[in-house]
């Protein structure tokens, strides 16, 4: 009962249990933080709007994104993954979500930012439904903790639209 093997086993079990308990508490503490992020997106320019050779519409645009995500950071946050997606409906698809830009925000200092960028990922439709299309630009964020449960949420900004004709 008092051999080396038993002592090592007991010590190991106890430390693993204690570590698991601490991780759970750390994760639970995230639920109590007060979060109020804000964002604003403007479309500066529609650069290109054409029909690809195999019939899908493609848009290239320049966005001006302002956001303040500082309140999302807690002591248990490792990084916040933020991305902007265009969301719209077409006759064939009840929902289309296309990510246009994303960024990894490693700490609180970088969480308040304003950037102007063209879309990082190609905005391609399944079909040719984009002329005159109204869409929402949604800023999503995904809080990735140092340990425990991940949270995700979004701000929906409706009211953007594409031109009626190809450019």
Per-residue binder mask for another protein (CB under 8 A), 70-99, x = binder: --------xx-x-x-x-----xxxxxxxxx
Kindly state whether residue 3 participates in binding another protein, applying the rule CB under 8 A. yes
**Nearest Cα to Cα of residue 93 among 121, 128, 54, 59:** 128
Judge contact between 166 and 50, C-beta under 8 A. Answer: yes
**CB of residue 144 vs another protein: minimum separation in angstroms?**
5
Tell me if 159 contacts another protein by CB under 8 A: no
Shortest distance in whole angstroms from residue 143 CB to another protein: 10
Stretch that binds another protein, among 33-41, 54-62, 68-76, 140-148 (CB under 8 A): 140-148
The residues, ordered by sequence, that sit 6+ positions from 15 with a Cβ below 8 Å of its Cβ are none
Token pair listed for 146: 């140092």
Q: What are phi and psi of 24, to 5 degrees?
A: -65, -45
Shortest reach from residue 139's CB to another protein, in Å = 10
Residue 77, beta-bridge partner list: 145
Give yes or no for residue 7 binding another protein (CB under 8 A): no
How do beta strands 134-145 and 112-118 pair? unpaired
Binding mask 45-74 for another protein (x = CB under 8 A): ------------------------------
Longest dimension (CA), the chain: 83
Of 39-47, 63-71, 147-155, 157-165: span binding another protein (CB under 8 A): 147-155
Tokens of residue 160, six digits: 């953007």
């Amino acid at each position: 009962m008092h051999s080396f093997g038993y002592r090592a086993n007991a010590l190991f079990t106890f430390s693993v249990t204690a570590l698991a308990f601490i991780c759970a508490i750390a994760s639970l503490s995230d639920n109590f933080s007060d979060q109020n992020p804000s964002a604003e997106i403007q479309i500066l320019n529609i650069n290109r709007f054409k029909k690809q050779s195999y019939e899908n519409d493609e848009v290239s645009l320049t966005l001006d994104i302002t956001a303040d995500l500082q309140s999302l950071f807690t002591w248990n946050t490792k990084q916040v993954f933020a991305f902007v997606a265009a969301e719209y409906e077409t006759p064939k698809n009840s929902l289309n979500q296309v990510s246009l830009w994303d960024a990894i925000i490693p700490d609180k200092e970088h969480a308040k930012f304003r950037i102007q960028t063209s879309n990082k990922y190609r905005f391609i439709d399944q079909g040719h439904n984009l002329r005159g299309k109204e869409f929402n630009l949604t800023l999503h964020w995904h809080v990735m903790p140092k340990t425990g449960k991940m949270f995700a949420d979004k701000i929906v900004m409706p009211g953007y639209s594409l031109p009626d004709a190809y450019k």
